Structure 1
Amino acid sequence: MARGEVEWVRGLKWFSYKKVFVAFCCVNVFLSISLLRSLYSSSSASSSSNTGQRSTPDSLYTEDQIKRVEESIRIRQALEPVELVRLAKKLKKELKIGKKGSKLSKSVNQKSAFEILSRLKALGSSVNFTEQREVVELWRVQKIEEIKRLSVADSTKPSILSKETKKLKIALELHWQKFLEGIGFWLPSDVNNTVVDDKPDTAYELEEEIIPGRSMPPECHTELHTDYAGAAVRWGLTHHTESAADCCQACLDQAKSAKLGDMKCNIWVYCPSESGCYSPDIYEHKHQECWLKQDEKPRLTFKDKYSDSYRSSHPTAPVVVPWMSGVISR
Structure 2
Amino acid sequence: MARAEWANYHNNSSSGIYNNGRGKLCSYKRSTLVVCSINIVVALFVLHSLYTSLYRYPYNDSTNAFRYTSDQISKMKESIRIRKESEPTELIKLVEELKKEFLREERVVEVPLSLKQKIADELLLRLRAVNASGNSTVQRAEAVEGWRKEKLREVRLLTSGKPANSTFLPEEAGVLVRALGSGWAEFSEEIGLWIPLQIIHEEHDDKPEGVDDLDREILPGRQLPPECHAELHTDYDGAAVKWGLTNPKESAYDCCMACLDQAKMAKPNEKKCNIWVYCPSETGCYSPDIYEHKNQECWLKYAEQPKLNFKDIYPDSYRSSHRNVPVTVAWVAGVVSV
Q: What range describes the TM-score normalised by the shorter chain of this pair?
A: 0.3 to 0.5
Normalized against structure 2, the TM-score is what?
A: 0.40
Q: Which has the larger radius of gyration?
A: 2
- More RCO (CA 8 Å, sep 6+): 1
Normalized against structure 1, the TM-score is what?
A: 0.41
